[in-house]
Amino acid sequence: MGTRRTLLIRIWIVGALLALTLLALGFAIVMANDESIKFNTLTYELGTRLADAGLATGFAAVIGLLVWLFQQEQADARQRVDAASQQLAAKNQWLRDFAIQVTDTYGDVKQARRRLQWDVDRAAGTITTKVYDEQMTAISIAQSRFEALRAMADTNLVSTERRPSIVDPLREIDVALSGLISERKSGRLHISQPEVPLSSWAKLQAFVAESDDHDQFTGLLGFSNVRGPYKGLYDAIVAELRDEPTPRPATATAK
């Protein structure tokens, strides 16, 4: 708004100076055609000086306006570059913070899985109820965080064209962890012993299977339902930070 007002004021001033220049030129033309005004007289000298001053003033005004317009365009260009740089820096900082939260939450899920695996009695095919409850609580918290991260990615600084490559893996992780939580809720009332058989918890059995990709007994995909989307998500965040083409999403395949 200030720049526009300044431009209008400058145009008005230049217009006034040009009007004076035209007036001086008109006076010079009249003087040249008036035979009563003789060469080297005071009137003639005043007229020529007035015409010269008018031309110089008009020329200087036009040049000054053009120089100012050029400088203003350069200043506007610098402001646009600075604004774009600040926006890019803010987006990259948000993505770095976002990546840290994603990595930390994924680490919590891995740690919970590892503790579940440590507690599994492979020979008896059982797991301690107390450990199961504790680690499922940790997984439930992680699932809530992934859900919140998905909402953040869907509404914040992620570019529109890359948004699916970040939001979709978070949705896949959310679905995988929600399946474990739903299984726990559906069978929670049946847990009355210190240990429970893994055969009662098909999704848990696949989740803690020795192979990350597949449980030979349940036929379900296990931890790869989390690990695969996480890898694709991390690659997408790195590509966004480097402004690279969107990587193809990772897919989990059964072995």
Residue 230 has pLDDT above 50, yes or no: yes
Q: Which residue has the higher pLDDT, 94 or 173?
A: 173
Distance from C-alpha of 31 to C-alpha of 33, rounded to nearest angstrom: 5
Joined together, the tokens standing for residue 209 give 């299977």
- Tens of pLDDT, residues 7-54: 555 665 666 666 666 666 665 555 555 555 555 555 556 656 666 666
Domain that holds residue 181: 87-242
Q: Are residues 201 and 137 in the same domain?
A: yes
Query: Is residue 251 situated within a structural domain?
Result: no
Which residue type sits at 29? I
Tally of domains in the chain:
2
Look at strands 195-197 and 126-128 and give their pairing: antiparallel
Instruction: Mention every residue, 6+ apart, whose C-beta is less than 8 A from residue 136.
Output: 112, 180, 181, 184
Question: In sequence order, what are the residues at sequence separation of 6 or more whose Cβ sits closer than 8 angstroms to the Cβ of residue 124?
Answer: 195
HSE at residue 23, side-chain half, CA atoms within 13 A, is 8
Instruction: Report residue 52 as tokens.
Output: 């010269």
Q: What is the pLDDT of residue 244?
A: 57
The C-alpha atoms of residue 138 and residue 167 are separated, in whole angstroms, by 22
196 DSSP β-pair partners: 127
**pLDDT (average), residues 124-141:** 89
For 191, phi then psi, to 5°, come to: -85, 110
User: Do residue 77 and residue 146 come from a single domain?
Assistant: no
Give the model confidence (pLDDT) of 172-228 as tens digits: 999 999 988 888 887 664 566 788 777 778 888 888 887 655 555 444 567 888 988
Query: Are 120 and 185 in the same domain?
Result: yes
